[in-house]
Each structure stands twice: as structure tokens, then as C-alpha cells.
Amino acid sequence: MEEYVENFIQYLRSRGFSAHTVEAYQTDILQFVSFLKKYYEQETVALEQVDTTAVRHFLGSLFEQHFQKKSINRKLSSLRSLFNVLVKEKKCSQNPVQRISHAKKEKRLPSFLSEEEAKKLMDLPNTSSVVGLRDLAILELLYSTGIRRGELLELNMNDVDYAGSCVRVFGKGSKQRIVPCGSIALKTLKQYCSLRQKLFTEQTTNDDKDAVFLSNNGKRFLPWTLTLLVKTYVAQISDVSKKSPHTLRHTFATHLLNRGADLRSVKEMLGHEQLSTTQIYTHLTPERLKKTYEQAHPRA
């Protein structure tokens, strides 16, 4: 099985999938292979041994380990993609995952900060140093644009258009989009970029020098490092359940919609394919309910 997995991973890379996406596929599928070895009690498992029953037992084991349904569905999608390619290449006759349905997801409102919390967040970094300026620029840009963690990590210097007040990002599937950026975020970003060379070290490569945001060792940020940075700051001003770069993406969308932004415009800025994906942000906050009441009730 490992040979087929490796070929599939190479196939994903050749199709231009992001490193983060490829890593997720690889992790999911290798977890399945590891399960198969225990399931069949063998050191190696042949492709012909994999059937729908084995896949169902794998999913059952994930439920027993209390994996979230979202994670289980992702792993199921990874396996479905693998076997679709194997069927297409005539390595196997049928896809054992094809008839297995996704687990019904729990509907949960996304975690987000209030406007007051967002303001307090931006007051936290110590901007007397280049590191503090960098941290503030990261927080401001995530909140101002709503871009994903991976999109921020891949941001290069020539992707920022100060005159046009926007940034160019490459989203899922390497799809490019232009996202508006607020004046405060751009001002902070410009201040940081004027000093970012101070972060260069002997480890800094030419690719790193193109990156907008550099870690303390002069390299592009790793995903987990950026998540830890944001989590550390958010934890100081909020007790939201999720504290990550995605929290600021949720906050961006929620605040825009609360202030009357058009849902379709927010969809384009977030880079969503379907409007239904953006609709999770139309949750009714107390502030939004109060505003609607005041605007609509004749005796408000």
C-alpha cells in the first residue's frame, strides 16, 4: 500500500496542491494504512485486501477515539480521492469508499471576537521592536482581510499593493484573488516591512527574502508557529473556545456582516466557492439583533 500512497502524494504535488493540503492527505491515508496492518495483523497489506468493510471498521475506530466528525469526513474524502485515482489508473477495479456516506456534521457557530476585543488585541504587541511590529502587522492583516493562515504564510512582498489598498493571495486550489485591505493594516505593514531585513539571518534563503512575514530565525513562518503566535495574543483578551488565525477570519466576516456588508461581497473576499459556506457567518449576535430591532420597530 505504501507505494500507492507515495505515488498518490507525488500526483497531488504535480497537480499544484499546496504543501499543507498534501501533508493533510498524507497524514490521513498513512493513518488508514497503519490501521489496516493492525486490522489484518500483517506487516504489509496488499491493495486487493482493502474493501468497504475494512474502511467502515477504520471509521468506527475513529469514532471510538472521539475524533470530530469534521476530521473523520476529511479522512474519508482523502481515501475517496486516493481510490478514485487508483481506479482511474486501473490499479484496482472499484473504489471501496464510493458508497460510504459522510458523517453528518454538527452545526456550530464559528468562534469570533467582539469589536472591543479586536481593538484590545491590536494594542497588545510592543511595536518598539521589529518583532512587535511584525506581530501587529500579522494580526492587523488577518483581521483586515480575512485571509487564511496558508494564504498569509505564502504572501510575498510583491503581493501587497499599497497604492491600490489590496493584497493578492493564492487560495485553495492555487486560485488567485484580490482582497481589499484597510488603511490601518497597510500602514502597520509598511512600517514593519521597512525594518524586516533586521530579521534576516544566515539561514535566510532567497525564497525567505521574498516572504512578507519572517519568523525570529529569518525563515518563513511554519503553520504551527503562526498559530501559536496568534493564540498567545488572543488568549490575553478573550476566552473564545478556538484561538487561531481562523478566529480572526471568522471575526472579519462577522463584523462585516454585522455592519451591513453584502453576503456575496464577503463570499468573494473570503474566497469561498459556495454562498452556503459564507452563510455560517450570518449568526445573530446580540448587537445585530438590537440594530435590526432599532431599525425596524416603529417604537424602538
Averaged over successive runs of 10 residues, the pLDDT of the chain (300 residues) comes to: 86 87 91 89 84 89 87 90 88 84 69 93 96 97 95 95 94 85 96 96 94 95 95 94 91 90 91 84 67 72
CA distance 87 to 80: 10
Would you identify the CATH topology of the domain 115-294? hpI Integrase; Chain A (1.10.443)
CA distance 252 to 272: 14
Residue ranges with strand state E in the chain: 160-161, 166-170, 176-180
CA geometry: angle 66, 105, 51, nearest 5 deg: 70
| pLDDT for position 284 | 55
Q: Where in the chain is the domain with CATH 1.10.443.10?
A: 115-294
| pLDDT for position 109 | 67
One-letter identity of residue 176: Q
Q: What residues are annotated to the active site?
A: 148, 172, 246, 249, 272, 281
Task: Give the burial class of 271: count Cβ atoms within 10 A of its Cβ; 0-12 exposed, 13-18 middle, 19 or more buried.
Answer: buried
| pLDDT for position 105 | 64
For residues 162 and 144, the answer to whether their CB atoms sit within 8 Å is no
CATH homologous superfamily of domain 2-88?
A: Tyrosine recombinase, N-terminal domain (1.10.150.130)
| pLDDT for position 289 | 67
CA distance 33 to 54: 11
Of 291, 292, 240, 268, the closest CA to residue 118 belongs to: 240
Q: Mapping DSSP to helix (H, G, I), strand (E, B) and coil, where does residue 102 land?
A: coil
Q: Where in the chain is the domain with CATH 1.10.150.130?
A: 2-88
- φ, ψ of residue 98 to 5 degrees: the values are -55, -40
CA distance 112 to 251: 5
| pLDDT for position 280 | 79
CA distance 185 to 195: 16
The model's pTM is 0.65
